[in-house]
Structure 1
Amino acid sequence: MRRIKAAAVSPSALPLTVMLGVAVVDTATGAEFNLLPVYAAGPAIAAARGSVRNVLVMGGVAALLCVVFAAKAERLGALRMHVALVAIGYVTLAAVYAAWARLRTERRLVDVQEVAQTLEDVLFAPVPPTIGPVRLAASYVSASRATRVGGDLYDAVPSPHGVRLVIADVQGKGLGTVRCAAVVLAAFRESAPELADLAEVGRRIDSALGRRTDGERFVTGLLAQITPSGHLVVFSHGHPPPLLLASDGRTEDVEPAGPVPPFGLTALAGPGEQRDSVTGLALRAGDRLLFYTDGLSEARDAAGRFYPVAGRAGPLLRETCPETALERLRADVAAFTGAPPDDDSALLLVEFTPPSPPTRSTAPGAGPAHGAPEPPARPVIR
């Protein structure tokens, strides 16, 4: 959320300019017209941006100009001059009240903005650039101009079992979605670093939504875990699958094993229906994964076509550091749609970077050391 910034131009500049313009016209038209009441425009305009003191000063300047030009037109003490001074006085008093009310509202708005920004910073703290064997970069774009965040969320935390990630999208819009997002994040941050079973983390999130929300919203999401050896496990709850950008050049979706209801709706699943959809994958050094919400996949161009994530995002995310790669992706989406975003969008780019194994020295003339086989095949476990 952007803070209110002080204007670079003095709040007195415009009122003074207007009153000087009236003075120029008054001089040009002569005593026949005598625009004395029009000087009240000065304090009236000052109320829009100036302080109460500034409005009073502009009222004094307007009264002084009224007297000066009344004397110039030989109407000093005339009824027209007194009527103009009374009009300037009433307009100044009204402008003082308007400026006082505006300043009080602005102070309250600044307080609310500071509280909201603090809340947003606590709930949606930046992810660290590196956790264990992975590099991370995140990007968030809110469809609302008033806030930085909405119903989409992401986070990454270390655990004894590997790096754990969450990305999710709360159904609906408004403050209720932010509340649900906060509940999901709190449950994830509390359980993910400690619980051995990633599926249990999902059940904790589902339980928290049932206890702490009105139950009228559901949340699509992914839970993922990357071990130091590169074993990826993804639990899907009705969310778009992550995009794998393999180090060998392939681009493919990591599809779930089967459909599972979103968080908040798993209680509706029957006793024989699947409640967890887990996908396993062996990552290699340099592999990247793009986790995203439907604000990316459902972005449309002027013809109504959806943004082709695999076709356009893949080439953009392979080179440069993860942060720069996401910036390039955001720029490409903006060029594709040609319009501001109409939905929240969260992106999380993860690169697997295991530590390099120690090299073995060999005697001169000896062959290659044992233990350097070809990279293993990339198994997929579903």
Structure 2
Amino acid sequence: MKIVWLTRTLQRLESEYLARAGLSLPLAAIAVVVGADLIAGRDHFLTPGIVAAPPLAAITVTWRKTLLVGVLGLLSQAALAPYDGITDIPDHDVFFGQAFAYVFVTLFSVYIAWRRETGAKAFTAITSVAEAAQHALMRPPEPQVGTVRLAVRYVSAADAAQIGGDLYAVLDTPHGVRALIGDVRGKGLPAVQTSAVVLGAFREAAFDEGGLDTVARRVDTSVGRHVSTGDFITALFAQFDEPDSVELLHYGHVAPLLVSRDGAVHTLYPADPWIPLGLADLVSGGPTSWRVPLRPGDVLVLCTDGVIEARSPLDGTFYPLVERVGPLVASAGTDLDTAVERVYADLLLHAGGSLSDDVVLLLLSPRPGALPAHPPDPTHPDAA
């Protein structure tokens, strides 16, 4: 695992080094070959080595500078031709053959540099659009929403994109702080469109409806109206409406975790597991919410299946979130930003440096002072 991560890191550092090298690398190549040719004397013909300069320029500078390097290289070969005795050969066949091959390599290098430059501009444009779309769709919350502190890490596995099928939202409403985390089946643009439907419905219902179950039904109804038949979204709703507890509602999503101040981890399995959003026609009724007591320092950890299904490239094991999250969160104290970064870094290390699925890590905790001092709660998971 460490070898894979180290290899990827070295590749990234190599790419950054080449980008910074600029003209110095191809010009140094020309200078080295010219110097070696002069030192070797007239009996050694080393100038063909200059052919390496244009390809080096193609990966470090623009196509115009690549062409400039090619011209300098050609001039250097022409200047050294009399010294090396190339012009003494009848009809100059050797020099012209060398020059022809060099010009061909130079023109091809200029083309490669132009394609690389054009591709980089297109990638930058796509990334900018994706970033704007992410901010419009996800609307990243502030570090504190109402009485709840939070930190989030959102990563899309899609190439050249920062948005995907995972979604989250945290809102301060008249009914308390309400949060949603979900995972759309599928990837690409259809998944993003479904995410927009779910988030739009949640943002409206979270302010209008008094009960968390009613909010979820409104979202489910919108999904049924606007999402293709057969598509579904796993989701988990949370509501911080009381000072010492959180209400949870489950729709087929990854079970949340409660991390205590001392690092103890408890998986909060729903008493009434339910099917994902979008499949309401298959069953009657609806899920029942349940409450979990909170103590000062408790952190609620919500995630999508991209976290727990991330595999190690060495042995194929899934990421052991329950075993790892406790010490990582507890060691950060009240700094949730540090905690979520530590969990994500550990996840990335386990996965060998890259993820094959979208990931959302959402940490929620009542701010200091929001929970009143009270006797030990016998229903708290740590009470035993």
TM over 0.5: yes
Which residue of 325, 334, 341 corresponds with 1:313?
Answer: 325
171, 190, 193: which is aligned to 1:157?
A: 171
- CA spacing shift, 1:357–1:350, aligned 2, 3 Å: closer
Q: Is the 8 Å Cα contact of residues 153 and 362 (structure 2) preserved in structure 1?
A: yes
Q: Secondary structure at the match of 1:114?
A: helix
How far does residue 311 in structure 1 lie from its aligned partner after superposition?
Answer: 4.3
1:253 aligned residue (267, 273, 285): 267
Q: 1:288 to 1:63 in 2, by over 3 A?
A: closer
Which one of 193, 197, 202 corresponds to residue 207 of structure 2? Answer: 193
Name the structure 2 match of 1:79. 92
CA distance in 1, matches of 2:350, 2:70: 53
Q: 2:81 aligns with which of 70, 82, 101?
A: 70
CA apart distance, 1:157 = 0.4
Q: Which moved more, 1:29-38 or 1:40-49?
A: 29-38
* TM superposition shift of 1:234: 1.5
1:264 lines up with 2:275 in the alignment: no
Find the aligned partners of 1:114 and 1:96 in 2 and give their Cα distance.
27
What is the deviation of 1:279?
1.4
Distance change >3 Å, CA 354–CA 378, structure 1 → 2 = farther
Q: 1:240 touches 1:294 (CA, 8 Å); kept in 2?
A: yes
Quick check: 148-157 or 88-97, which moved more?
A: 88-97
Q: In 2, Cα distance between the equivalents of 1:249 and 1:9? A: 44
Q: Note the C-alpha offset of 1:340.
A: 4.2
RMSD: 3.6
CA contact (8 A) 1:170 1:180 kept: yes
Query: Percent identity among equivalent residues?
Result: 36
Structure 2 CA distance for partners of 1:191 and 1:305, relative to 1, 3 Å: same
Question: Quick one: distance in 2 between partners of 1:249 and 1:62?
Answer: 64
Residue correspondence of structure 1 range 28-67 to structure 2 within 5 A? 30-31=41-42, 34-35=45-46, 38-67=49-78
State the distance in 2 between where 1:356 and 1:289 align: 15
CA separation in 2, counterparts of 1:14 and 1:304?
41
Instruction: Name the CA distance, whole Å, in 1 between partners of 2:352 and 2:98.
Output: 54
Higher helix share: 2
Residues 11 and 186 of structure 1, relative CA distance in 2, 3 Å threshold = same
Match of 1:345 in 2: 359
- Residue-by-residue CA offset, 1:176-213 (whole Å, 9 max, x unaligned): 43333333223222332333232333233334434444
Report the more deviating stretch, 279-288 or 107-116.
279-288
Q: TM-score, normalised by structure 2?
A: 0.78
Q: How big is the shift at 1:61?
A: 1.1
The C-alpha deviation readout for 1:325-354, integer Å capped at 9, x for no partner, is 333433454566666444333222222247
SS in structure 1 at match of 2:207? coil
SS at match of 2:208: coil
CA distance in 2, matches of 1:357, 1:46: 62
**Which residue number in structure 1 is paired with residue 337 of structure 2?**
323
Letter matched to residue 106 of structure 1: A
Residue 19 of structure 2 contacts residue 60 of structure 2 at CA under 8 Å; is this kept in 1? no
> Normalising by structure 1, what TM-score?
0.78
Q: Select the residue among 99, 123, 138 that pairs with 1:124.
A: 138
Using a 3 Å threshold, how does the CA distance of structure 1 residues 50 and 298 change in structure 2: closer, same or farther? closer
Q: What's the offset of the Cα at 1:235?
A: 1.4
Amino acid at match of 1:323: D
Q: Distance in 1 between matches of 2:134 and 2:119?
A: 22
Partner residue in 1 for 2:6: none
Q: Tell me the distance in 2 between the aligned counterparts of 1:285 and 1:149.
A: 34
Deviation at 1:314, TM superposition (A): 3.2
Whether 2:28 is the aligned partner of 1:23: answer no
Instruction: State the Cα deviation string for residues 261-302 of structure 1 (Å, max 9, x = none).
Output: 101222222xxx332332134444443322222233334555
Tell me, in whole angstroms, the C-alpha distance in 2 between the residues paired with 1:79 and 1:294.
Answer: 69
Find the counterpart in structure 2 of residue 96 from structure 1. 110
**Counterpart residue number, 1:206:** 220
Q: CA 1:14 to 1:288, structure 2 compared with 1: closer, same or farther past 3 Å? A: closer
Structure 1 gap ranges (5+):
359-371
Whether 1:134 aligns to 2:145 is: no
- The answer (yes or no) to whether the contact 1:228–1:354 under 8 Å persists in 2 is no
Structure 2: gaps (5+ residues): 1-11
**Letter in structure 1 aligned against 2:81:** A
In the TM superposition, what is the alpha-carbon distance from 1:376 to its structure 2 partner?
Answer: 6.3
Summarize the Cα distance change of 1:196–1:354 in structure 2 as closer, same or farther, 3 Å threshold.
Answer: farther
Contact 1:291–1:349 (8 Å) recurs in 2? yes
Q: Which has the larger radius of gyration?
A: 1
Shift of 1:227: 0.7
